[in-house]
Amino acid sequence: LYAMIEYCNIISRMQNLQVIRLDFGRCPEFNNECSVALQNTLCSLKKLESLALSFSGCSKVIIQDGKMNANFPKTLKDLMLVVNETGITDEGIKEVCEHIAKLEVIQAVKLYFKKCEKLTENGVKSLEKIFKSNKSLQRFEVHTSVLCLSS
């Protein structure tokens, strides 16, 4: 956690960042606390428009009830979130999407939920309804082992 806090401190000093791509895939120590620290840092970046986060195989990023904390900068126009091979559930996906749906200027969203064993077709199908209500959204993709939605 200490290394992640230091990393977040470095990022927080880069207030002109518009694009960030971070891949924590298969990092055994990346957990919910690290995720919250990172989200708080990213939300402090007032010019951030494009964000790609990968937590593939980071089982500790998912909290006990199959959800993950999700808070994104309100300035985002483009978001890619990868949580392949985690224990995220249908409820967890719905919660992530509720946070994304609040992003007023979001134009493109790509979500990857491959090999998430607790995910069902019903959970994935419910995502489409959440995003269809967002007026600024131009591209929406969900990639799962269950099905693939694209509009």
Question: Nearest Cα to 35, choosing from 106, 43, 94?
Answer: 43
> Sorting pLDDT into bands at 50, 70 and 90, what band is 13?
very high
> Sorting pLDDT into bands at 50, 70 and 90, what band is 28?
confident
The pTM score is 0.90
3-state helix vs strand vs coil in the chain, percent to 5? 35, 20, 45
CB-CB contact of 53 with 80 (8 Å): yes
> Sorting pLDDT into bands at 50, 70 and 90, what band is 147?
low
Q: pLDDT (tens digit, 9 = 90+) per residue, 42-57? A: 999 999 999 999 999 9
Question: How far is CA 112 from each of CA 40, 44, 119, 140, rounded to the nearest angstrom?
Answer: 22, 25, 12, 11
Q: pLDDT (tens digit, 9 = 90+) per residue, 131-146? A: 677 889 999 888 888 7
CA–CA separation, 145 vs 112, rounded Å? 9
DSSP string, 50-114: EEEEE-TT-GGGS-TTS-------TT-SEEEEE-TTS---HHHHHHHHHHHHT-TT--EEEEEET
- Whose tokens are 């593939």? That residue is 56
Judged against a pLDDT cut of 90, whether residue 68 lies above it is answered with no
Please return the burial class of 68, using the count of CB atoms within 10 Å of its CB with bins 0-12, 13-18 and 19+.
buried
CA–CA separation, 142 vs 130, rounded Å? 12
CA–CA separation, 32 vs 29, rounded Å? 10
CB-CB contact of 12 with 40 (8 Å): no
The pLDDT assigned to 45 comes to 97
The pLDDT assigned to 150 comes to 47
